[in-house]
Structure 1
Amino acid sequence: MNTALALAAGLGTMLGIGIVIGVRAVVGPAPMDLSAALGHLATRTTASAPAAGWRAWRARLSTYATNRANRARNPWLGIPTHDLDLLERSPTDYVTMRLRWAASSLAVATLLAVSLTVVGVPAGVLVGLVAAGGLVGAVVPVWQLRDQAAAAREDARRALAVYLDLVAQQRTAGHAPGPALREAAAVGDHRLLTRLHRTLTHAEHSGHSPWEALRILGTTIRLPELVAVADLAATAADGAAIYTSLTTHATSLRTAAISTDKAEANTHTERLTLPVTTLMLGILLLILYPAVTRLLG
């Protein structure tokens, strides 16, 4: 009886921690109190007290892990700067998230191993289970970041097609290439357009060419379509008429987006083949069961 109670308690604890981690990952952080944040910004403070105790130790650990990850050459251990720059996240937050995932999964695996010791599982298997739990927890944030970056790039390509049409309209209205790029980015509130407007405004104030700023941004976030836009803007600066080139490039981006949507829809349809077949087989067995039992009886 004691063995069963210990095993049930361990499994219940592991299930509870897993549910909490899953809900925390899906729901995200708590909403910010806007009034409190504005009050904090409006309040003048002389100096912030240095972190002490657990916070200081956590800050030192995060800084050390970030520095080590910056020097790592392995893509699974290093910091994906291009993806983080695209999502506008800092390397420290990324490393901290990996440490939290690793610690949480390691704790869950340890609790499971402690519960399995009552059953008599060998120690080697338990150690492997704990190590696998920590490894999975450290790898999950990498997969999440790659998926988020891929989705963000696809969304940026769709927004870039709209941006090209806006730039073409600005050029038709007689604006110069630089102001046309900046004014077109100021029209929408999309994440990419907001960043383009911020980048172009900074380039104008710094005395740099807007197409060079776009080229650097496209290289940084690994968006080749933005680099192509910078090349088109550079040719417009030399006096070339690029209205047709802009609209053609926007059309090609939309065609690529439609092809991507069709491929994704086909993939989802193929995934539904097995569940639908299994469901139809179950319904068929349910319908035929009374007749078969009557014939056999």
Structure 2
Amino acid sequence: MSQVAVAYPADRVSLREVGLRDGLQLVKNWPSTDEKREWLAREHAAGVRHFEVGSFLPASRMPQFADVRELVDAVSRLEGARSAALALNERGVADAFETEVDEIVCVISATEEHSQANMRRSRAEAIDLVRMAARMRDERGHKAIVNAGIAMAFGCSIAGEVDQAEVLRLAGACIEAGADIVGIADTVGFAGPRQVAELSAAMARLSGGAFIVHLHDTRGMGIANASAALDAGCRVLDGSLGGLGGCPFAPGATGNVVFEDLVFLCETKGFATGIDLDALAAARSVPKHAMPEEKFYGAIARAGLPRALDWRA
């Protein structure tokens, strides 16, 4: 059985909590390493099993991720949990393979303009980084999953409209380069349900298995888009606790899909997540205490669960 099949079984929905990475990329203050460990422990106790914990970048550039190695180690000590982290350049990929991280995420932009603005490299060079990560995976005993995430897959704040055919071409190139799994990201929250359904269905055909959909709630469409992705065959979705996150190319935007609301959506559609929503909602207290200046979102946090009826499908 492949690593992807073990990490993301085809017969269930897997939810990746990206709050410790995407959720913290733009904050001015962030939790201490001990507070991050508590965040992980509380979510793990609630049933969360997939955690994106940071980026392998110089601490001088992104100091909030200076403890990524410690968090990879912390996840390794949680039963059944899996860690993921970004590696955006050759040094980052090499550093990642020096840890026990379970999944290494490389980013490829759907447009050349965003690729140059965000990573100062071409899309071809970004795919070469995927190829390097796949080669290192094959050469080493540590068989981390190589995840290729396609940013701006539903529209670009710099270049504008993105052709679905171009996203699929890039996804195919990443698979050919050795990626184990490919993700499509609505980085700036441009997408609507029809777009998400169409591209998700095409990704399901292309991948023949698991792929990831990463959504932002910039225009309030995150949960509707997640529902459309599920209906189109996606079984791996990203969200962040309290909807933390954002994008430097979408100033003022809200963050990722609220993880708690995503769990609720899945359960009401008949997809068991194994996550206790009451315990998950209670875990918000950790980052809220550490970052009182940050805004936290979420319908479940605001209104609570509907106690008067059986809301699970």
TM class by shorter chain equals under 0.3
**Higher strand share goes to which structure?**
2
**Higher helix share goes to which structure?**
1
Relative contact order: is structure 1 or structure 2 higher (C-alpha 8 Å, sep ≥ 6)? 2
User: How does the TM-score come out when normalised to structure 1?
Assistant: 0.25
Structure having the higher Rg: 1
User: How does the TM-score come out when normalised to structure 2?
Assistant: 0.24
